[in-house]
Structure 1
């Protein structure tokens, strides 16, 4: 069964559900030929290891505290703070507190995947 994405003009709920943190329920909300929008749920005890995608990304912290590690430095994001990463830039994401974020990935025209998520190293 294909994952259902939101239609243009459809309201999208970003607040996490009661069991999201326990089940690491990140979900792609929208995917078009040019972008993918993901509600990212990061429990404190389940960091995302270093990886990269081909498209440029933004990460907006909605709840909790996210830490984005890139190029040997850490950027700590609280609610309503965001960071931009260039395409192909290796990064890791963890939470100092259980966190919810909104990630936007710009996809390459005609590619419709943004390129694979790749583990750095």
Structure 2
């Protein structure tokens, strides 16, 4: 079965998951030749080791709290915050609380 990705003009619900957060998995919402949008869902205490994205990245915290380590600084991101990383910027992520992030990659 193919994974559904939103089509042009299709509305995607990205409101906070609240009680459904613990049962929800990370999902790619949109994928095209030049763009990928995913809802990244992670429990508290998880970490993503340092890595780089090929293109620019925006991260919007839909719920929870995460800390990005980038450029020698720790940056706390909470619900409602939007965070930008340029292409190839090394960064790591710590999930301080159960969290849901809207992540957009340029490819």
CA distance in 2, matches of 1:36, 1:54: 12
SS at match of 2:22: helix
CA distance in 2, matches of 1:22, 1:74: 28
User: What TM-score does the superposition give when structure 2 sets the normalisation length?
Assistant: 0.87
- Asked whether the equivalents of residues 22 and 43 of structure 1 are also in contact (C-alpha less than 8 Å), the reply is no
Q: How many pairs are equivalent?
A: 106
Match of 2:56 in 1: 56
SS at match of 2:36: strand
CA distance in 2, matches of 1:5, 1:73: 35
Q: Structure 1: which 5+ runs fail to align?
A: 108-121
Match of 2:105 in 1: 105
Shift in alpha-carbon separation, 1:101–1:71, aligned structure 2, 3 A: same
Match of 1:11 in 2: 11
- Asked whether the equivalents of residues 21 and 100 of structure 2 are also in contact (C-alpha less than 8 Å), the reply is no
SS at match of 1:21: helix
- Asked whether the equivalents of residues 58 and 82 of structure 1 are also in contact (C-alpha less than 8 Å), the reply is yes
Shift in alpha-carbon separation, 1:17–1:97, aligned structure 2, 3 A: closer
Shift of 1:22: 5.4
Q: Structure 2: which 5+ runs fail to align?
A: none
Shift of 1:95: 1.5
Shift of 1:8: 1.4
- Asked whether the equivalents of residues 26 and 40 of structure 1 are also in contact (C-alpha less than 8 Å), the reply is yes
CA distance in 1, matches of 2:20, 2:65: 18
